Structure 1
C-alpha cells in the first residue's frame, strides 16, 4: 500500500523561493535605496535561508543607522559581528550582485518572499493547533478562539498599508467639506448612520472600534431601537450587520423587522389577524423583498460566550464583510470562566466586547439592563451609576445611552410615547439628549418631526 504523507511530513519542502531571496538581496546591494521600498513590509525572519536572514539583518541595521548599504558596508558589518564566514564570505555577497541585472524589481521580489513566509506561518500554526487537539487539554472553546486568533493575526500581518500622499487626502477632504457646506443637514456623519438624524448629529454616527452601550429597564424599547438601527444600516446604507440575539428568537426578530418596515401592527402580524382588505399584505411583500437582499445576519444562539461570539464575528467579517455588530443583551452572555460573582462576569464581558470592537474595527452596539435601584428613588431619570452589575461597562464604553420614558414613570404625563435618548457618556464628543416617538403597535421608533407632520 502506498504511504500517505502528512501535510507536515519532512518529505515535503516548506514553501520558499530562494531565487527571489537571492534576487532581492542582490538588488539592495546594487542600490541601497531599494531598502526604502521593502523595509516596512519585510522582516529578517521572512527569509527562508538562515544566511539570507543574517544578511538582511545586517542591511536593516545599517538602514536604521542611516548608513550606506553596499557590498563593502554589509561585508564590514557581518565581519564585525563575526558572521561573514557563516553566510559564505565576501564571495557570496558578490554572487548576489551578479544574480540580478538591475535593482528595479526589488519590491516584486520582496512580495514573493513575504508570501512564502505567510504560507510557512500557516503551516506552523496548523501544526501547533493539531498538536493541541491531539493532547485534548484545555477548554474546546478556548482552543477554537486561539486557533482563529492566530490565523486572523497572520491575515492581518499580510495586509500592509503605507503612507498616502497628502494631495490625495486633500482632494477627498475638499469634496467632503464642500458637500457638508452645500448640505449642512448631513454634516459630521462620519460613522455608521443610525437613521435618526438628531442622534447621528450628536454622535456623528456609530464610530469604528467604539463600544456603544444602550441601556434601559425592561420593556422600554432597547431591542426595538436596536432593530430600527439594524434595519436602517442594512436596508438603507447597505452595510453588513451582525446581530447576536441572546434573548429573542430569529422568528421574533423577523416579525419585528417586517412589522416596522411594512408599517403594520406587530400583534396582528404575529397572530394572523391582519385584514385581507387594504394594502397590508402588499407592504409586507415589499418588506420581504427588501430584506431578502439586505446584508443582515442573525445569530439567536442563547447563552453564547465571548469566545464563540468573537469566532463567529471574525468568520462573518471574512466571508461577508461587517460594518456593525449588535448584541442583545450584555447580561445574557456567558463568561469564559464560570463564577458566582456577577460583577466579575460582566466586567469580563464588557472588556471583551471592547476588545472585539477594536480587533474587527467595527462599532459594537451592546444592549444592557439597568439596576432596580432606579425604581426606588424619586428621580427615575437614568444615570451612569445605574448600569447593572458593573462599573466596568461605564469605563469600557465609548458611548453610553439610556432610554427614558416619562410616561412610564409619571402618572398623567403629557408626553405619551415620547422617549428621551440620553447620551450620558461620549468619549470623543458632547453628551446630550434626543427625543424619539415610540409606536407600540409596530415596536418601532420614529423621529419626532415625522410624527408632527
Structure 2
C-alpha cells in the first residue's frame, strides 16, 4: 500500500475514533503529503479545544481548499480501518524515518559533517517521536517516598478469586502477559470464565475475545457458572429445572449482568483487531481497570501469512506481550499444549509442552498449567479437583495448588 492511502486511512480512522488524534502519538511530520499535514493539524486543533472532529467541524475550522475540498474530506471516512490503525501508523513512521535519513545524509554530505555528528542525528530518529517525559523516573520515584510509612493494600493486582493463586501472584498485575495452558478438556474455558466473572464482580473491566466459542455459547456457560446450574439441565430449563432453580433464574441473570463482561466472538481475528476493539472499550470506561482475556492463542490469525507456524505463534505471542504493556493491563491468554503430554507416563504439563513456539515461554510473565487427574484416571479419588501450577512467574514465586472444579456447572473455588 502506498503512503497516500495509508495516510488517508489514518486520517479517516481518526475521524471515526477522535481520541486517537491525541492518544496515538502521531506527529504532523509523519505525513508526507502537505494536504494531509493540514488536515491533521486541523484535527489536532479541534481535539485540543475539546471539540468533535467530523466533516462539518473540519471544513468550518479551516479553508476547505487547504484541506483538499469538501469531497476530499468526505471521502476520508471510506478509508477508515480501526483494526489496522497501529499497523498503518508503524508503516507511515517507517517511511518518515527513511525520508529523514535521506535528508540527514544529503545535508551531511553538503555541509561535510563529522561522522559522529551523522550518527547522532540518525540515532535521534528512534526517539524523536517519543516524549522525553516518559523516560524519566521522577514521577515514579516521588510516588515511592511514603511507601515504607503507609500500609499497603493486601492486593495490588486483579484478584483471581482463588486464594492460593492470589497468594502466589498477588492478583493479575498490570502490563503482565499471563498464559494459562492445558490439554483439551482440562477446564481452560471454565477457568477463563471464572476469572472474568471475578474481575467483573470486583468492579473491573473484563474484555473477552472468544475466537473458538460463540457469544451465545459463552453466555450459556457464564449463566451456568453464575447461577450454579447444571449445563446438562440448561439445555432445556423448562423441562429440567426444579421450582427452586426457576425461582433463582432472574437473580442469576442479574448477577451475571452485574459483571459487565464484554465478549467479542469473531473467529480468526488478528492481534491488531483485538487491540483496536480493546482500545475503544477501555477508552469508553476510563474509570475501570481493564483485564483482557483471549481464548485461545493458537487460533489468532497472524498479521502476515506464513507457512512457518512456529514463527507465526512467536510473533502473535510477542504482539500480545506488547499489548499488555501498551494498555498497562493484564492480558490473560489460553494456550493449547502439544500432544507430547499424552505420550508420557506422567501427564503433568511441563514448559516444553507449550505448543508451537518457545517464544510463549520467553514472552510470558506468568505461565500456569491446568491438570485434572480424574481425566486420565477414572478411579482417582481426586474427583472434581483441578491442579493449577504456576510454572513461571517473572516477578515472584512459583508453585502448585489444587482448587475445587465443578465440571457440571463450570464453577471454580478454593478448597478450604
Q: Is the structural similarity TM-score above 0.5?
A: yes
Quote the offset at 1:176 in angstroms: 2.8
* Partner Cα separation in structure 2 for residue 292 and residue 397 of structure 1: 31
| Structure 2 residue corresponding to 1:277, chosen from 242, 246, 254 | 242
| Structure 2 residue corresponding to 1:364, chosen from 327, 331, 351 | 331
Partner residue in 2 for 1:435:
402
| Structure 2 residue corresponding to 1:211, chosen from 172, 177, 196 | 177
* Partner Cα separation in structure 2 for residue 400 and residue 247 of structure 1: 21
* Partner Cα separation in structure 2 for residue 265 and residue 359 of structure 1: 40
Segment of structure 1 superposing worse, 421-430 or 168-177: 168-177
Question: Does structure 1 conserve the Cα–Cα contact (< 8 Å) formed by 2:367 and 2:391?
Answer: yes
Quote the offset at 1:407 in angstroms: 1.4
Give CA deviations for 1:211-243 in whole Å, capped at 9, x if unaligned: 0000000111000001001001102x1101110
Quote the offset at 1:149 in angstroms: 11
| Structure 2 residue corresponding to 1:146, chosen from 84, 88, 91 | 88
* Partner Cα separation in structure 2 for residue 275 and residue 147 of structure 1: 54
The 1:164–1:398 alpha-carbon spacing in structure 2 relative to 1, beyond 3 Å, is closer
- Give structure 2 stretches of 5+ with no counterpart: 1-7, 9-26, 29-43, 59-66, 93-129
* Partner Cα separation in structure 2 for residue 366 and residue 292 of structure 1: 23
Quote the offset at 1:143 in angstroms: 4.9
* Partner Cα separation in structure 2 for residue 327 and residue 159 of structure 1: 33
Question: Does structure 1 conserve the Cα–Cα contact (< 8 Å) formed by 2:174 and 2:330?
Answer: yes
Partner residue in 2 for 1:30:
none
Partner residue in 2 for 1:198:
164
Quote the offset at 1:323 in angstroms: 1.4
Question: Does structure 2 conserve the Cα–Cα contact (< 8 Å) formed by 1:145 and 1:311?
Answer: no
Partner residue in 2 for 1:266:
231
The 1:261–1:175 alpha-carbon spacing in structure 2 relative to 1, beyond 3 Å, is farther
The count of aligned residue pairs is 317
- Give structure 1 stretches of 5+ with no counterpart: 1-7, 9-44, 47-114, 151-155, 180-186
1:234 maps to 2:234: no
* Partner Cα separation in structure 2 for residue 325 and residue 386 of structure 1: 24
Of structures 1 and 2, the larger Rg is shown by 1
Quote the offset at 1:308 in angstroms: 0.7
The 1:173–1:290 alpha-carbon spacing in structure 2 relative to 1, beyond 3 Å, is farther
| Structure 2 residue corresponding to 1:286, chosen from 251, 258, 262 | 251
Secondary structure of the structure 2 residue equivalent to 1:279: helix
Give CA deviations for 1:275-325 in whole Å, capped at 9, x if unaligned: 453321232211211233333111000111111111111111111245100
Question: Higher RCO, 1 or 2 (CA under 8 Å, sep at least 6)?
Answer: 2
> Structure 1: which 4+ aligned runs deviate by more than 6 Å?
156-162, 165-168
The 1:274–1:402 alpha-carbon spacing in structure 2 relative to 1, beyond 3 Å, is farther
Question: Does structure 2 conserve the Cα–Cα contact (< 8 Å) formed by 1:387 and 1:393?
Answer: yes
Partner residue in 1 for 2:412:
445
The 1:303–1:429 alpha-carbon spacing in structure 2 relative to 1, beyond 3 Å, is same
Question: Does structure 2 conserve the Cα–Cα contact (< 8 Å) formed by 1:145 and 1:308?
Answer: no
Q: TM-score, normalised by structure 2?
A: 0.68
1:2-401 → structure 2 map (5 Å cutoff): 119=48, 142-143=84-85, 145-146=87-88, 163=138, 174-177=149-152, 187=154, 189-235=155-201, 237-272=202-237, 275=240, 277-321=242-286, 322-401=289-368
